Amino acid sequence: MGHKCYISFKTEDTAYKEAIQSWANKDKVDMIDKSLNTPIDSYDEDYIMRKIREDYLSDSTVTIFLIGEYSSESLGKEKQKYIKRELQASLYNGRGNTRNGILGVVLPPMYNTIYKGTEACLVCNGSHNIVAINDSTVIKEFGRNYYLNNHGKCAYSEEDRYCVLVKWEDFKTDPNTYIEKAFNKRYQPIADDVIVYPK
């Protein structure tokens, strides 16, 4: 039985969302699609978000956040209001809403902007991957829960992140593994550190 997934995306990245949905239709990915496919007919932002929460997000368990060229905090809160609120609702854990796992899928146009190679570490004498997850690449709701709590270490490791990150090409090859990884984060200690409304 697949996980119930909600896909949060910018209109410019609709083709990627539709690709994931086509995999579900062909049984390539074991997921139950809970995504919003037709816009809610209203100009009332609060009503739209309430409908999304009640009808789509409330019984989903994983939110797939497509990270493209139009997904950053730096584009402004007004432009990002829906994806920000979708991720806030996904991160919230309370009555009538359990927290979703969050899977960030980096789309090909963003590879070079986000993945910056490795850097030598003067603290541990090892090397660390440089991954530019910040306000110029993603909304705060994802960024603050990706680099969440390194517990004083010289770098973040997998257990220090609530959000899971994957390149589109790797996700496309094995979507179920990454969806499962995001789903399982809900039960790991780092889930206690989640920031629903980051400043």
User: Residue 111: beta bridge partners?
Assistant: none
What residues does 64 pair with on adjacent strands? 7, 103
* Spatial CB neighbours of 56, under 8 Å, sequence gap ≥ 6: 6, 34, 35, 36
Range of the domain at 104: 3-193
Whether 32 maps to a domain, the answer reads: yes
d(CA 138, CA 157): 19
Nearest to 91 by CA among 9, 175, 182, 177: 182
Across 23-37, 54-68, 90-104, 125-139, least confident range: 23-37
Asked whether residue 53 is assigned to any structural domain, the reply reads yes
Token output for 46: 């609060």
* Candidate from 26-35, 91-100, 151-160 with smallest mean pLDDT: 26-35
pLDDT of 34 > 90? The answer is no
Assess if residue 56 is contained within a domain.
Answer: yes
**Cβ atoms of residues 46 and 85 within 8 Å:** no
User: How many independent structural domains does the chain possess?
Assistant: 1
| Domain annotation covers residue 199 | no
Residue 116 lies in a domain: yes
pLDDT tops 80 at residue 63 = yes
pLDDT at 66 over 90: yes
Is 45 within the bounds of a domain?
Answer: yes
Whether the predicted pLDDT of 1 surpasses 70: no
Give the pLDDT of residue 151. Answer: 82
pLDDT band at 4 (very low <50, low <70, confident <90, very high): very high
Whether 152 is covered by a domain: the verdict is yes
Domain membership flag for residue 198:
no
